[in-house]
Amino acid sequence: MDHFMREMITSLGGVDQAVCEFIRITDQSTPDAVFYRDCPELKTQSRTASGTPVFVQLLGGDPLRLAEHARSAVRLGAAGVDLNFGCPAKTVNRHDGGATLLLYPERMEKIVRAVRDAVPEHVPVTAKIRLGFSDPATCIESAQAVERGGATWLTVHCRTKIDMYKPPAFWTWIPEIKKHVALPIIANGDIFTPEDLHACAKVTGCTQFMIGRAALIDPFIFRRVRGLEVDPSWDAVLNLVRTFFDRTCEGVSPNFAQARTKQWLRELCKGRHAEAKVLFDEIKVLRDPQRLRATLRQGLAVTGGGRF
Ligand SMILES: Cc1cc2nc3c(=O)[nH]c(=O)nc-3n(C[C@H](O)[C@H](O)[C@H](O)COP(=O)(O)O)c2cc1C
């Protein structure tokens, strides 16, 4: 999720912690501008406007390069550094990054340790894994490697790389991991409703959770899981879509905003409001961002009168 979305979702409340999109570390150097582009919150004490800390996420396979980049991230103000050992994308995996590293726990340990040693003690260094590349039982070794490397906490996406995003997420591996490591574990995978979160808590014994896709499908999910009041109307969601579009227009460009808004509406179609589908069908064919803007405005102006 980009920073416009992070800004908006964290402004709704209920989010303790966010991570920026991954910065892929290759043998090329990474200009500061790339850190600022992917994590503009670096300019505001590494927090969103509503105060949620945002960690810089690094992806790569070379401990020294990752350590250097972690140091740069912290020099620029990162509140924490998160290491990606879970990305299943072929291009990433082919270039020695993401979930392929799950096959080499000793390298994972070296990476975590190099990054840990590179940044001041008070800066958290965290990691995210999948259960394994193809064998979920390797999650124990991976978690132990991350712990030995000195990570502050570990997020576990309860699927293997081969599983991609196929349901279900196998939460039952987390209690197995906890038998072998003392590191705090954050459970992740298939939490779409408060009921899912409670089920996950029961199975895993975790008290901290990462929510991914549901943030886009139901932006109020973080309020819901905390039992905070939520405006159940489509208008409330439509307001967010409009804000997101306008801010992305201002921040990048109308064409970029149009593309991102269409992507987001496609996700909202999976959620609780049938109106999302009606709106998506209407806007998906639009080519002119001004028409998209007008359609979003019109939707807002007349929803009370029953356009949807
Ligand atoms: C479009 C998309 C982008 C993602 N980007 C990242 C990423 O940069 N780093 C990461 O660790 N996981 C990433 N993930 C995985 C999610 O963080 C999460 O582990 C996964 O979606 C399962 O959780 P969920 O069921 O709550 O979505 C991404 C997932 C999706 C669908």
pLDDT in tens, 138-179: 999 999 999 999 999 999 999 999 999 999 999 999 999 999
Same-domain pairing of 137 and 239? no
Q: Which of 191, 225, 259 is the last residue of a domain?
A: 225
216 in ligand 1 pocket by Cβ < 6 Å?
A: no
**Distance from the CA of 86 to the center of ligand 1, in angstroms?**
9
290 alpha carbon to ligand 1 midpoint, in Å?
31
What is the whole-number distance in angstroms between the Cα of residue 226 and the centre of ligand 1? 21
Give residue 178 CA to ligand 1 midpoint distance, Å. Answer: 22
- Kindly report the protein residue whose alpha carbon is nearest to atom 28 of ligand 1: 212
Residues 170 and 124 in one domain: yes
215: CA distance to ligand 1 center in Å? 11
Q: Are residues 42 and 150 in the same domain?
A: yes
Q: Are 34 and 153 members of one domain? A: yes
Q: Which pLDDT score is estimated for 301?
A: 47
Residue 84 Cβ inside 6 Å of ligand 1? The answer reads: yes
C-alpha–C-alpha distance, residues 292 and 30, integer Å = 35
Give the pLDDT confidence score for residue 61 in this predicted structure: 97
- Residue 190 makes CB contacts below 8 A (sequence gap 6+) with 158, 167, 168, 169, 196, 200
Pair 22, 113 in one domain: yes
User: What is the average pLDDT across 105-126?
Assistant: 98
Residues 194 and 292 in one domain: no
**What is the rounded distance in angstroms from the CA atom of residue 205 to the CA atom of residue 22?**
28
Look up residue 152 and give its DSSP letter.
S
User: Do the domain assignments include residue 12?
Assistant: yes
pTM for the model: 0.95
Segment 216-244 shows an average pLDDT of 97
pLDDT at 300: 54
Ligand 1 atom closest to Cα of 21? 8
Domain with residue 209: its CATH number is 3.20.20.70
Is 307 a domain residue? no
Q: Which residues are catalytic?
A: 87
Q: What tens digit of pLDDT does each residue of 122-143 get?
A: 999 999 999 999 999 999 999 9
155 and 296 housed in the same domain: no
- Smallest CA-to-CA distance from 138 within 168, 166, 176, 171 is with 176
Decide if pLDDT at 306 tops 80: no
Is residue 288 one of the residues assigned to a domain?
A: yes
Confirm or reject: Cβ of 161 under 6 Å from ligand 1: no
- Considering the domain architecture, whether residues 158 and 269 belong to the same structural domain is answered as no
Tell me which residue has its CA closest to atom 26 in ligand 1. Answer: 212
**Closest Cα to residue 46, out of 82, 14, 88?**
82
- Over residues 108-134, the mean pLDDT reads 98
The residue whose C-alpha atom lies closest to atom 18 belonging to ligand 1 is: 212
The enclosing domain of 293 has a CATH number of 1.20.225
Q: Is 308 within the bounds of a domain?
A: no
Answer whether 212 contacts ligand 1 (Cβ < 6 A): yes
* Protein residue with least CA distance to atom 17, ligand 1: 212
**Residue 22: partners with Cβ closer than 8 Å, 6 or more residues away:** 57, 58, 59, 84, 87
**Per-residue confidence (pLDDT) for residue 298, from 0 to 100:** 86
Q: pLDDT confidence of 303, banded at 50, 70, 90?
A: very low
22 CB within 6 A, ligand 1: yes
Summarize pLDDT for 58-104 with one digit per residue, the tens.
999 999 999 999 999 999 999 999 999 999 999 998 989 999 999 99
- Residue 13 structural domain: 3-225
- CA–CA gap between residue 129 and residue 98 (Å, rounded): 9
Domain count, the chain: 2
| Domain boundary residue, one of 166, 196, 225 | 225
Instruction: Based on the fold, state whether residues 7 and 112 are members of the same structural domain.
Output: yes
Domain stops at, among 225, 260, 283: 225
> Could you count the other beta carbons within 10 Å of the beta carbon of residue 68?
17
